[in-house]
Amino acid sequence: MTVTRRELLKGAALAGAAAALPAGLPGPATAQTTQKRELVVAQGGDIAHLDPHMSTSSNDIRISYNIFDNLTSRRPDGKLAPGLASEWKLQGQQAWAFKLRSGVKWHNGDPFTAADAKFSLERTYDPAAKTRVNTVFTTIERIEAPDPTTLIVHTKKPDPLLPARLGFYGGQIVPKKYLEAVGQEKFNQAPVGTGPVRFVSWTKDDKVVLDANADYWGGKPDFDRLIVRALPEMAPRVAALLKGEVDIATQLPPDQGERVKANASTTVAGALYGGLYVLAVNSKVKPLDNPLVKQALSLAIDRDVIIKELWRGRGVAPSGPIARGDNHFDPSLPPLAYNPKEARELLKKAGYKNEEIVIETTAGYMAGDKPMAEAVQAMWKDAGINGKVEIVEYSVRAQKNRDKSFKGLWWSDPTSTLRDPDGMMWRLLGPGGPQDYWRHAEWDELGNAARFSVDEKFRGEAYKKMTKIFLEHFPWIPVIQPYEDYGLQKYVEWNPDPLQQLEIRRFNFKFRRA
């Protein structure tokens, strides 16, 4: 870094002024603005892949969403906005037509065309490419690219959510010509996209360096360089923020919020998670096969206490299986009730004989998992439920998830990938889904009909009925919809994203300048 004499003098003057200020008074006003041209972000882990089709991990996606563009773009406000496609519409029941932007260039100067989009989507499910997102676009039958700015996607059945699917992982558009020329391995090391930042370097376990794309179709971002650092431990990550070494720090736990806010130059921004934290239930084992028992388990949980004490107020109590902010969320539904007396009565009616009910929890994989499990256990005890908490390691949980071998309940943080119930409860709880432990003929029929209907009114009615059935049977016991907090320097103007993306495009990121 070179420092001019003028800057040095200015710095010295400021230091003098700061020293003259008595402690406790706010620091110099310059802390709220900056002349920085470099944005430094700290996240909890390093990336593993730059090739966007090789990973679904949030650490990777924060970067790949910015090197690459999708055809559609899910904005931090939850709305679906144009991406590389400027508009789209249904053609009949089973085809979506996309109008693509013209004049967009890849970072290596090649022009972007519909052939790239067709290639990218087909690549996700091409067995030879061995991608890790090959289940995202299973509804697609075939894709046509009749001219450079038109893409027509034919689906096997009507797919109302195709534009939403295109906005999430798997939907990043990659360059056909470049990828075919250099091969998968080289592409992963030196990716070329159309996004607001271009790849410069990656020092593994340390940082990824990206430069602003001055020719970006959405406008050059408000920085020259983006550095994403991997700071795995929470305390050093917060320390780096407090000291001003990083501008945005991800995964800020609720108990650190006060500290970050108390610091003169930093603040906290949160987004209500686009999903829920639930206790998923193995409804195949006794006594959890009895809906009355599950209703009692839900009634015995005091969600307000969990939110207030464990989350410092950073969350809301869910009202059902649909996350606040999703399509078809019903704001008229009350939050899930707490009533230990009614819980006792239900247990009596169900003939509950003090059988042990196990919660298998990880310690620290999901925010607050272990303390929440212990709190729930204590609340259950007060309602006469014999709960037991067992701690399992993260990989053991993954294995149990795979084998569907959970003993009773376990924590799950279903993400609403499409901001629609289809992408959350139906994807996970539906027949053959990863959390298929409970079946209900009417519920299944409604879920299936809603998936393949392009009539939003019909879908809304179906999800209303499904919610009602859900609240009798509780295949999940929703506990909280938390805020996901980030620590920021006060000179950063940026809105966090409910789906853990790092949106730094011009419309969402600005350095506050003097």
**Between residue 463 and residue 492, which ones bind another protein under the rule CB under 8 A?**
none
Do residues 108 and 175 lie in contact, with contact meaning Cβ atoms separated by under 8 Å? Answer: yes
Q: Which of 11, 26, 219, 232 binds another protein (CB under 8 A)?
A: 232
CB of 480: closest distance to another protein in angstroms? 20
Do residues 408 and 359 lie in contact, with contact meaning Cβ atoms separated by under 8 Å? Answer: yes
Q: Which amino acid is at 453?
A: S
Q: Which of 31, 39, 41, 54 binds another protein (CB under 8 A)?
A: 54
The CA-CA-CA angle for residues 188, 189, 194, to 5°, reads: 65
CB of 1: closest distance to another protein in angstroms? 12
Q: Which is nearer to another protein, 253 or 384 (CB)?
A: 253
Q: Residue 88 and residue 98: Cα distance in Å, rounded?
A: 4
Residues 6+ apart with CB under 8 A from 442: 465, 469
Residue 398 binds another protein, judged by CB under 8 A: yes
Tokens of 420: 């629609």
Q: Residue 341 and residue 319: Cα distance in Å, rounded?
A: 20
Which one-letter DSSP state was computed for residue 305? H
Q: Which of 174, 242, 317, 322 binds another protein (CB under 8 A)?
A: 242
Residue 401 binds another protein, judged by CB under 8 A: yes
Residue 431 binds another protein, judged by CB under 8 A: no
Q: Which of 10, 89, 130, 156 binds another protein (CB under 8 A)?
A: 130
The total of other beta-carbon atoms located within 10 Å of residue 388's CB is: 14
Considering only the stretches 130-138, 210-218, 302-310, 375-383, report the one whose residues sit in contact with another protein under the rule CB under 8 A.
130-138
Residue 420 binds another protein, judged by CB under 8 A: no
Q: Which of 38, 180, 245, 258 binds another protein (CB under 8 A)?
A: 245
Q: Which is nearer to another protein, 46 or 159 (CB)?
A: 46
Q: Which amino acid is at 475?
A: P
Q: Which of 15, 48, 305, 378 binds another protein (CB under 8 A)?
A: 48
Residue 165 binds another protein, judged by CB under 8 A: no
Residue 369 binds another protein, judged by CB under 8 A: no
Nearest CA to 124 among 81, 199, 68? Answer: 68
Residue 185 binds another protein, judged by CB under 8 A: yes
CB of 328: closest distance to another protein in angstroms? 21
Residue 261 binds another protein, judged by CB under 8 A: no
Which one-letter DSSP state was computed for residue 413? -
Alpha-carbon distances of 280 from 97, 297, 387, 409, 483, rounded to whole Å: 38, 12, 15, 5, 20
What's the alpha-carbon Rg for the chain, to the nearest Å? 25
Strands annotated E in 130-275: 140-147, 150-155, 197-203, 207-212, 225-230, 248-252, 266-272
For 425, phi then psi, to 5°, come to -70, -40
Considering only the stretches 49-57, 274-282, 343-351, 451-459, report the one whose residues sit in contact with another protein under the rule CB under 8 A.
49-57
CB of 134: closest distance to another protein in angstroms? 7
Q: Which amino acid is at 50?
A: L
Residue 224 binds another protein, judged by CB under 8 A: no
**Between residue 277 and residue 296, which ones bind another protein under the rule CB under 8 A?**
none
Binding site for another protein (CB under 8 A): 45-46, 48-49, 54, 56, 130, 132-135, 185, 188, 203-207, 229-233, 235-236, 239-240, 242-243, 245, 394-396, 398-399, 401-402, 427-428, 432-434
